[in-house]
Chains A and B, each alone.
Chain A
């Protein structure tokens, strides 16, 4: 006998409602599922909402689609919220008047931002932050604002403040309580966090009770506080806590908590056994769980009501780790030390702005809670001590003290199989081992099979450690292949190409690889081939290997146009050449900017115009600047002894010599250099891959410095070198780096990973301990001798230039490329400007 399917209706299609729907649809339960979502779009990733301010498209947040639901056999109805539940008839009625009958009803209505009842708090310019639609309103308001205030200094409020900061506003945070993130942090942690975000330019006002919002004099509004102070602003975003959407349940007479929330039991059942509630609208054990992982656990418990398996929701851990405005913040368990008899250790470093607190039980052997601000490197370990009740070391303080010799590191081996590795997807260490048992054999497989690390991503490092350990245990080699097509590291590929005299990708693939290659191995091989043989990179057999930037010999911009950066060696340029750059930019309507590398970038050129533009530049004596390539970029200089009263050597001449010598040299990552004329170091040579500083007796060479994401001060490598010694040392250094570095590894990271470190590098390069000095120099000489300006070759070769046209079958340009004017120069139109009818559009295709 076949069972009649149960009619399940899910109200709310947020993160938890979606998780439930997907899991139920994929289970063996005999059900028909109808989803009713109040928002116009299917479920999306609210946790990463703020990334839209950093450039992500709202569409990228989608967790599902109408088509995906259709394919699962789920009926979905969006943009029409449920307005009433009829428990007698077992049906729900939407605002639009539609009626859906249910056998089981699941409420997943989530929560909404609480707006304190402040007179004037409902005027235009007062907003909240929870949905994609809210994002649009915040962006629109910010476009006409100079100043923005976030009311609420909790987790979401600070995230919102970061968004306002990103939108270019003078940003204020107004908090009622005396500290920031009072739920997760203790006083000390809150103070350190405040210090750090104030340093980023956010104005923080604590212990402020807003009394009313009136018209301002300088700005649209003025907030008046209980202490009689005022703050003027153009917009306000309220983020003063969340409230469960429980109105439907209230009207239907379901039991609610005193301060709201739909009361549920272990099975997620409400006071009506045909109605379940999950996610942020549900109250369990007197608590609302305002995080996504507990919501997912509730969804799974609710699904088990429909299947043979019975899971109970047992409450959930609320520990969090996040990056707020680039500041690491972590909070575990009883962060405030409320447990009677608990003991705490605090470490505070005001110079490095790091604060850590450890809360331990009276017996001193179990972790109860922790606060980390400014450095979360211990978070994963501490969380495992906490969650798994692992015995603490005899001196628990060693867990948070910096650089303690022999501080116990909680490796993967110390964790029990039950240890949760990914809390978003509830994956334990045992689950990972299980996935290996059924055939997974890499980190990628594990992610695919268990979903671990595909939620908030916070567990990525721990997951990798566990996977690596598991592989070692099983005697599997940890995979260091660059991709699925070549079972080799970049170093090994380099040797295979050099020793096997391999000249093109197809031969390499045939001899040592499989499949067709991909966007990882192709550009890597292209770079190695160029380092070894220095062919023209757009030769037919190399063209398809190049990253877009290399293939068009220009950097692709966000709207599909390109930028043009001619070489200006050492930053020295004649007035005549400057005028040419100006004329070209004017004639092609290019945005012009002086770069951080002492040269000039012309932006917004259409692909099809590149050959003509370069023809003009080359005719005036310019050559390519390789801004698009993983190769030498710029060698910056200071004016040096020619003009400067302190200069001891001609740093400009040396910079030009160096730049001309290594220009066009393809390497694992880009290379930058600088030459300063004296120790005042105006060229910032100590932040470069190789930097040179003049001394009374010659040149000092510094290596492996880096600006960028993780700055590293260069190390002094050799002192008082003559011109010849300097060039010889750099030749060897660069070629050794090219031979041995990983793909996309700057010299700084390379040195940090080089076994033996700086001393080993000195031995190889300065003392020739491997007897490869002459070989390295000869290899460099070959590259230097075969230099060509790629743009000259391209322009001279008319056939290739045809390939820069946007279409193969039409002279037209890309109609998607639209510019508007800002500060008297063109810039790409935003999507909104392109779609709307803006009158000041400059040009389209």
Chain B
């Protein structure tokens, strides 16, 4: 069964950007996106495997072909928000489920 943990309010994450959250010892990058008028949330690992810094939440989000992506702010590799897969190299980030309950943003463990 999933454990849902409330991390913040919707408005704590500026639209079309991300924030980092701490889940136990794990750093998670949570993104809030307006996609064709619908608000969507995604969560992937905040650790950037290429630079070793915990900064994925600070990347620019967007779309490439049909994939929703975030660009690492350090060396600009792109990671798919849905699967965590890196588009340029054979590297995979972990992903989490996110949902909103009222104004609360919750990440599923």
Show the binding face of A for B, using Cβ within 8 Å. Answer: 57, 59-60, 62, 64-65, 68, 484-485, 515-519, 521-523, 540, 543-548, 551-552, 556, 558-560, 802-803, 806-810, 812, 814, 816, 831
Known: A57-B52, A515-B63, A803-B19. A808 touches B13 (CB 8 A): yes
Q: Which of B7, B55, B68, B78 has the most CB of A within 10 A?
A: B55
At the interface, yes or no: B4 with Cβ under 8 Å from chain A?
no
Question: Which residues on the A side are within 8 Å of B50 (C-beta)?
Answer: 57, 60
- Among the listed B22, B30, B52, B58, which residue makes an inter-chain contact with A556, where contact means beta carbons less than 8 Å apart? B58
Q: Which residue of B lies closest to A57 (CB)?
A: B50
Q: Which residues of A contact B53 (CB under 8 A)?
A: 556, 558-560, 816
Q: Are B71 and A60 in contact (CB under 8 A)?
A: no
Q: How far is the CA of A773 from the CA of B50 in the complex (A)?
A: 47
CA distance A543 to B17 in the complex (A): 8
Would you call B54 and A808 a contact (CB within 8 A)? Answer: no
Residues of B56-109 whose CB lies within 8 A of A: 58-65, 68-69, 71, 73-74, 76, 78, 89-91
Cα(A810)–Cα(B17), bound, Å:
19
B residues 25-48 touching A (CB-CB < 8 Å): 27, 30, 33, 35, 47
Q: Are B21 and A544 in contact (CB under 8 A)?
A: no
- Is A544 in contact with B61, judged by CB distance below 8 angstroms? yes
> For A68, what are the chain B residues with a Cβ–Cβ distance below 8 Å?
90
CB distance from B55 to the nearest CB of A (A): 5
CA of A816 to CA of B45, assembled, Å: 14
Verify B64–A518 contact, CB threshold 8 A.
Answer: yes
- Shortest 10 CB-CB contacts between residues of A and residues of B: A518-B62, A548-B73, A560-B53, A519-B71, A544-B16, A516-B63, A544-B17, A808-B19, A519-B60, A515-B63
**A59 / chain B contacts, CB cutoff of 8 Å:** 49, 91
Q: Write the chain B residue with the least CB distance to A557.
A: B53
22 A-B pairs (CB sep. < 8 Å): A65-B90, A68-B90, A485-B63, A515-B63, A518-B60, A518-B64, A523-B60, A540-B15, A547-B60, A548-B59, A548-B73, A551-B17, A556-B74, A559-B53, A560-B54, A560-B55, A803-B14, A806-B54, A808-B7, A809-B21, A814-B27, A816-B53
Q: How many residues belonging to B are interface residues under a CB distance threshold of 8 Å? A: 42
**Given A560-B53, A808-B20, A545-B61 contact (CB < 8 Å):** no
Residues of B within 8 A of A545 (CB): 60
Which residue of chain B has the shortest Cβ distance to A59 in the bound complex?
B49
Chain B residues, Cβ within 8 Å of A548 = 55, 58-60, 73
Return the contact of A484 from the options B30, B51, B64, B73 (Cβ within 8 A): B64
Min distance, Cβ A199 to any Cβ of chain B, angstroms: 31
Complex: how many Å from CA A551 to CA B73? 11
**Bound complex: CA of A802 vs CA of B50, how far in Å?**
28
Say yes or no: A515 contacts B22, CB within 8 Å. Answer: no
The smallest beta-carbon distance between B77 and chain A, in angstroms, is 10
Residue among B7, B13, B63, B91 facing the most chain A CB atoms (10 A cut-off)? B63
Q: B7: which of A62, A802, A809 is its contact (CB, 8 Å)?
A: A809
User: Whole-angstrom distance from the CB of B95 to the nearest CB of chain A?
Assistant: 16
Beta-carbon contact of A808 and B64 below 8 Å: no
A558 to B8, CA, bound (A): 28
B60 adjacent to A816 (CB under 8 Å):
no
Residues of chain B with a CB closer than 8 A to A806's CB = 20, 54
A653 smallest CB distance to B (angstroms): 39
Chain A residues contacting B49 (CB-CB under 8 Å) are 57, 59
**Contact A831 to B52, CB < 8 A, known contacts A548-B59, A808-B7:** yes
**A505 to chain B: closest residue by CB:** B16
Chain B contacts of A546 at CB under 8 A? 60
**Residue from B30, B53, B62, B68 having most chain A Cβ neighbours under 10 A:** B62
* Contact of B55 with A556 in the complex, beta carbons under 8 Å: yes
Q: How far is the CA of A839 from the CA of B90 in the complex (A)?
A: 36
Q: In the docked arrangement, what's the CA distance between A551 and B62, Å?
A: 16
Residues from chain B with Cβ under 8 Å of A65 in the complex: 90
A556-B55, A831-B52 known; A808+B62 contact, CB < 8 A: no
Residues of A within 8 A of B68 (CB): 516
CB-defined contacts of B20 to chain A, threshold 8 Å: 806-808
| B62 adjacent to A515 (CB under 8 Å) | yes
Nearest CB to that of B89 among chain A residues? A60
Known: A551-B58, A809-B7, A831-B52. A516 touches B27 (CB 8 A): no
Would you call A558 and B51 a contact (CB within 8 A)? yes
With a CB–CB cut-off of 8 A, which chain A residues contact B61?
Answer: 516, 544
Q: Are B90 and A62 in contact (CB under 8 A)?
A: yes
**Given known A556-B58, A808-B19, contact A517–B52 (CB-CB < 8 A):** no
Known contacts A558-B53, A808-B30, A518 near B63 by CB under 8 Å? yes
Of A57, A558, A560, the most chain B CB neighbours within 10 A belong to A560
Of A548, A559, A810, most buried by chain B (CB within 10 Å of CB) is A548
Q: How far is the CB of B47 from chain A (nearest CB, A)?
A: 8
CA distance A809 to B52 in the complex (A): 22
Q: Which chain B residue shows the least CB distance to A845?
A: B54
B73 to chain A: which residues have CB within 8 Å? 547-548, 556
Residues of B contacting A556 in the complex (Cβ-Cβ under 8 angstroms)? 53, 55, 58, 73-74
Q: Which of these, B8, B14, B35, contacts A809 with CB under 8 Å?
A: B8
What is the CA–CA distance of A544 and B22 in the complex, to the nearest angstrom? 21
Contact A552 B58 (CB under 8 A): yes
User: Beyond A544-B16, A807-B20, A808-B12, is A516–B58 a contact (Cβ under 8 Å)?
Assistant: no
B17 to chain A, nearest CB (A): 4
Complex Cα gap A518–B53 (Å)? 21
CB distance from B49 to the nearest CB of A (A): 7
Inter-chain CA distance A486–B74, complex, in Å, is 24
* Nearest CB in chain B: distance from A458 CB, A: 20
Q: Which residue of A lies closest to B33 (CB)?
A: A516
Residues of B within 8 A of A807 (CB): 19-22, 27
Closest chain A residue, CB of each to CB of B13: A808
> Chain A residues with Cβ under 8 A from B69's Cβ?
518
Within 8 Å CB of A60, what residues of B? 50, 89
**Inside 8 A of B89's CB, which chain A residues have their CB?**
60, 62
Q: Known: A543-B14, A547-B73, A560-B54. Contact between A517 and B62, CB under 8 A?
A: yes
Query: Chain B nearest CB: distance from A563 CB in Å?
Result: 14
Interchain nearest-CB distance for A793 vs B (Å):
16
Question: With A and B bound together, what is the CA distance between A556 and B90 in angstroms?
Answer: 25
Asked whether, in the complex, the Cβ of A540 is within 8 Å of the Cβ of B14, the reply is yes
A540 CA to B15 CA, complexed, in Å = 8
A544 touches B14 (CB 8 A): yes
Report the Cα distance A62→B89, complex, angstroms: 9
- Nearest CB in chain A: distance from B89 CB, A: 7
Q: Give Cα A806 to B17, complex, Å.
A: 14
Chain A residues, Cβ within 8 Å of B54: 560, 806, 814, 816
Which B residue sits closest to A811, measured CB to CB? B22
B16 touches A64 (CB 8 A): no
A816 to B25 Cα, complex, angstroms:
11
Q: Which residues of B contact A64 (CB under 8 A)?
A: 90
Chain A: which residue is nearest B52 at the CB level?
Answer: A831
Give the residues in chain B near A560, CB-CB below 8 Å.
51, 53-55
The CA of A809 and the CA of B68, in the complex, are separated in Å by: 25
**B8:A808 contact, CB within 8 angstroms:** yes
Is the beta-carbon distance between A809 and B51 smaller than 8 angstroms?
A: no
- With a cutoff of 8 Å between Cβ atoms, the chain B residues found around residue A558 in the complex are 51, 53, 74
B76 to chain A, nearest CB (A): 6
Closest to B6 in A: A809
Residues on B with beta carbons closer than 8 Å to the beta carbon of A551: 17, 58
Contacts of B7 in A (CB 8 A): 808-809
Q: Separation in Å of the B80 CB from the closest CB of chain A? A: 13
CA of A60 to CA of B19, assembled, Å: 26
Q: Contacts A59-B49, A559-B53, A808-B7: A519 and B59 contacting too (C-beta < 8 A)? A: yes
Q: Are B15 and A809 in contact (CB under 8 A)?
A: no
Cα–Cα, bound, A552→B19 (Å): 13
